Amino acid sequence: MTDQGGRIEPFPLRRRGTADYTRAAARRSNVHGLIGVDVTEARRRIETIEAETGESLSFTAFLVFCLGLLSVGCWILAPQMRVMWTTNTQRTIA
């Protein structure tokens, strides 16, 4: 590059962190996925409750509630998911 008239400059210290992060992020594998779920019954029930009570219900809140139930169910039914490593050689199951 220098024989074509370019010049070599030292890499700025403040940009080294960015370069390190970019290098590390390039090695990381992100997996994203989409799922399809039939929510017809859930929407019908929400509409029924809204008609009976007159109170507006949030479908987003319903989904968050369901995910919360799922995580609590996993917590109760799968104790191996509650493993907390206390040392390199010992583990405690809550």
Instruction: List the structure tokens of 23.
Output: 């290098």
Reference 59, options 46, 50, 72, 77; nearest CA is 46
Q: Which CA distances in Å does 69 have to 26, 72, 73, 76? A: 35, 5, 6, 10
Domain boundaries, position 40: 2-93
CA distance 20 to 94: 37
Query: What's the total number of domains in the chain?
Result: 1
Written as tens digits, the pLDDT of the chain (94 aa) is 556 777 877 777 877 788 777 777 777 777 778 888 899 999 999 999 999 999 999 999 988 888 888 777 666 666 655 555 444 455 545 4
Decide: pTM greater than 0.95.
no
